[in-house]
Each structure stands twice: as C-alpha cells, then as structure tokens.
C-alpha cells in the first residue's frame, strides 16, 4: 500500500509506478505531488531522492488532513491557490475533476474549470 495515497492499486497513469525501499512504499507521483515534501539532489538518497524521515513526516501531517473529495484523512496534496485550505489524495484529485500536470521541476494543479489555481510549486 502506498504510504501517501493509501491505495494498494491505483492507476499508474495518475499515480505512477509503486516503488519500495527501506521499508517504505509509495507511488512515484504521490511522492512528487505531496506538499512540503522535497526531493534531494541525489536520487540514491532514501526513496527516489526523498528522505525516509521526510516521507514519514508527510504521512504524519497528512493524518491531520481530510481529502475534500473522499472525506478520508491522509490527504497529502494541498491546493496551490492562495488562501485555499483544501487537501487531496492524488487519485481523488483526478476523481474530483482536478487536472494535475508534472513537468520537472514544477508541479501544477488546475481547477475543474480548467483555470489555473493561481500559482505553481517548485520542487527543488
């Protein structure tokens, strides 16, 4: 089961492949889109460049956040619009009509209407 979206099976087009190392398991895009989780310069560090401790902190923080689509806790992606307090699981963002786009080193979240949420988040 992915530590971030809490799904054993998810669409690999949406969540990416599942990776496991050091007792951690996550989908590639769940790692890349998780708010306040940043990849280190060396991809050999931790899980694809994400430090194990940082991933665990993201999971603990997500336990306090409810997904605005499914209503369950564990949401790791914060809406990028200023003054918006909505959180999502990556698979739920798609189900809720959001459009996500990941082009290294940026991640984008678009509202259901297709309008940009207002800003992008740099991943480095």
Strands (E) located in 47-110: 77-78, 87-88, 99-103, 106-110
Q: Quick one: tokens of 117?
A: 């949420």
At residue 111, φ and ψ (nearest 5 deg) are -70, 165
- Could you tell me the pTM of the whole model? 0.78
**In the chain, what are the domains?**
12-110 (3.30.40.10)
Q: Are 118 and 82 spatial neighbours (Cβ–Cβ below 8 Å)?
A: yes
Q: How many CB atoms lie within 10 A of CB 54?
A: 18
- d(CA 67, CA 118) in angstroms, rounded, equals 20
The one-digit pLDDT tens for each residue of the chain (124 residues) are 999 999 988 889 889 999 999 889 999 999 988 988 998 878 888 888 999 999 999 999 999 999 988 999 999 988 877 777 788 899 988 787 776 766 665 554 544 444 333 333 433 3
């Amino acid at each position: 089961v992915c530590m971030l979206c809490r799904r054993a099976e998810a669409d690999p087009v949406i969540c990416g492949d599942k990776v496991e190392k050091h007792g951690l398991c996550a989908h590639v895009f769940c790692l890349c889109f998780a708010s306040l989780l940043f990849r280190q310069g060396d991809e050999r560090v931790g899980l694809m460049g994400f430090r194990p401790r940082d991933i665990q902190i993201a999971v603990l923080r997500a336990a306090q956040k409810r997904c605005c689509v499914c209503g369950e806790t564990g949401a790791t992606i914060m809406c990028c619009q200023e003054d918006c307090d909505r959180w999502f699981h990556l698979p739920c963002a798609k189900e809720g009509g959001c459009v996500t786009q990941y082009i290294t080193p940026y991640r984008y979240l678009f509202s259901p209407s297709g309008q940009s949420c207002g800003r992008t988040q740099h991943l480095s």
